[in-house]
Structure 1
């Protein structure tokens, strides 16, 4: 049975899960009724940061144009342009033992592609979630349902894996941003 988190909660991931190494972060969402004439295209991006919360190299920014980091520790499944269907809309596979030592945090984000031009925001998105799955056992360990707390935001930091005393933990963040992917990049120290 997965642990269901609320915004701001943190939970141990590897402590008590001996041997856990291969996990999948599945993210999903639905779009509300929308008559703006454009498709919704939500995208997952991953920022692998140092202790100061900054990305040290461009290869540690994982998204649809850079599907994995140099070490192959974080691998993005690919862009789902419609979000149609049940289950995860996009996913990221992580091999914890391969995450470089200088990476303290792996942040999972979702943005709306061309949100400003299309007049879209997360107020038009519902049932958004992230779940962490132990892929060896095909067992959902953690689930965080974001709720409906967003209105004008076009980007969200959904959750973070982070190292603490040699173990990996997960934090349910749910922090919204205006300014889309560019705002997130600036937040994590990348030039846009």
Structure 2
């Protein structure tokens, strides 16, 4: 049975799952319904572009840094050179139930000098389109054990992220011989992925 986490909570992935290695991290979100009257209607009135959210993973070294662009897995670099992290492709709209983007992690292949995997979501072309995470609802991150297809945990983001253009959703990190997951849920005003990466330069 999956554990439902709250913001700030942390849980071990491997303590009670000996041999756990291959997991899937799913991220999902829904656009707020378009049309209607009032403020939202004017925001989303005819022809408003879809809110295109992109999920990415930053591989952070033991000094808390992203060393190079090769340590970022996103729609433009779908697989880490170690084979430990693979992005399954970009979803342009967020429509439909379930995961919008999925990332497969092979924990045993994560290089020893990588301490944390940070999962972020940003809105593509957010400044030009005047979009922010107040236009998104039902955002979540979940972790699935791929050996038995069981959902291990889920974190539903419930804060108000209006005027935020990026989210630092969660992290998987080493703690001794364990791998743990932390529910972060931090909003950010970076206008693109490059600005978000600069937090970890």
TM-score (structure 2 length as normaliser): 0.91
Q: CA RMSD in A?
A: 1.0
Post-superposition offset of 1:68: 1.1
**2:200 aligned to 164, 169, 188, which one?**
188
Partner of 1:16: 16
CA distance in 1, matches of 2:100, 2:154: 15
1:139-163 CA-to-partner distances (Å, cap 9, x unmatched) read: 0001000014211111001000000
Contact 2:132 2:162 in 1 (8 A): yes
SS state at 1:150 partner: coil
TM alignment of 1:8-157, pairs within 5 A: 8-34=8-34, 35=44, 37-157=48-168
CA distance in 1, matches of 2:167, 2:64: 16
Post-superposition offset of 1:57: 2.6
1:127-177 CA-to-partner distances (Å, cap 9, x unmatched) read: 000000001100000100001421111100100000001110000000111
Partner of 1:7: 7
1:7-62 CA-to-partner distances (Å, cap 9, x unmatched) read: 00000011111011000000000011241511111000100001232112321100
**2:155 equivalent to 1:176:** no
Contact 2:31 2:95 in 1 (8 A): no
Could you list the runs of 5+ residues in structure 1 that have no partner in the other structure? none
How many residue pairs match? The answer is 189
Could you list the runs of 5+ residues in structure 2 that have no partner in the other structure? 35-43
CA distance in 1, matches of 2:138, 2:63: 31
SS state at 1:17 partner: coil
Name which one, 1 or 2, has greater alpha-carbon Rg.
2
CA distance in 2, matches of 1:123, 1:117: 16
TM-score (structure 1 length as normaliser): 0.95
Structure 1 segments of 4 or more deviating over 3 A?
none
